[in-house]
Structure 1
Amino acid sequence: MARLSARISTGISGAESQIMEALWARGPLGAEDLVREVGGPQGWGEATVKTLINRLLKKKAIASERVGGRARYRPLVSRADYVTGESQGLLDRLFGGEVAPLVAHYAKHRPLSAEEIDRLKALIAQMEKDDAEKGDG
């Protein structure tokens, strides 16, 4: 299986990812919206949410824009790029960049359901088909 040629490293922490998830789901939001949407369920106060916003601004993961005299934040990193980077980071750190040992680990420690096995087989079949088509082109 081919490894990604370039790992996308965002350095977004677990707490910061909660802010990002809200922005990916709802688009630009103000600090008050993020306090209500993320802070409340997490038990975080306004200061914590604003600290997380500032960290994300410094990391250039989000941008701030003024709308009606208030700051609104929008993501600069797509969710797909974030997931790709985090996934590759996990593979690199724990499984030498290889997918098969990851799947084997899960299968050994948490048996796969019949549906999961079928989905994996379908994924492998599609990947083989795509590789064969690339070879023909």
Structure 2
Amino acid sequence: MTDLPAISQAESLVMEVLWNRSPQTTDEIVAALAASTDWQEPTIKTFLNRLLKKGAVRAEQHGRRYQYSAVLQRADWVDSESRSVLGRLFGGRVAPLVAHFSERQQLSPEDLAELRKLIDRLDP
């Protein structure tokens, strides 16, 4: 996998909007984020400019407006972030991660059932 740009938590909220639907104008992105943040348009434009510089999004001019689209694929970003967390916190191993959640009773019966199915599928 190639090196992906580092995306902050705030920038990831902007990316989620674009992953859900692209392209979008600044006004559309601002409207989409209005319900979940208290950010004003200048803040969102700052995030968009950062994401542009990182190569995570692209902008195309249409008249006096720009339309933004995600370049970075969500699946690639999730994979990179997951590997980073596993590496930093659990030595790159999944079992300690699952143990961590199970010890704190944060696995629901549905989670356990899904894990059993996954193990059965992976273990011939």
The answer as to 2:119 corresponding to 1:124 is yes
2:86 to 91, 94, 112: 91
1:62 to 46, 57, 61: 57
Q: Deviations over 1:28-86 (max 9, x none)?
A: 11111111111453000011000000000011000011124311000011110011011
1:14 to 9, 13, 29: 9
Instruction: State percent identity of aligned pairs.
Output: 43
Q: Which residue of the partner structure matches residue 46 of structure 1?
A: 41
Q: Which residue of the partner structure matches residue 36 of structure 1?
A: 31
TM-score (norm 2): 0.92
Matches of 2:38 and 2:47, distance apart in 1:
14
Q: Which residue of the partner structure matches residue 99 of structure 2?
A: 104
**Larger relative contact order, structure 1 or 2 (CA cutoff 8 Å, min sep 6):** 1
Aligned partners of 1:30 and 1:73 also within 8 Å: yes
Matches of 1:96 and 1:10, distance apart in 2:
22
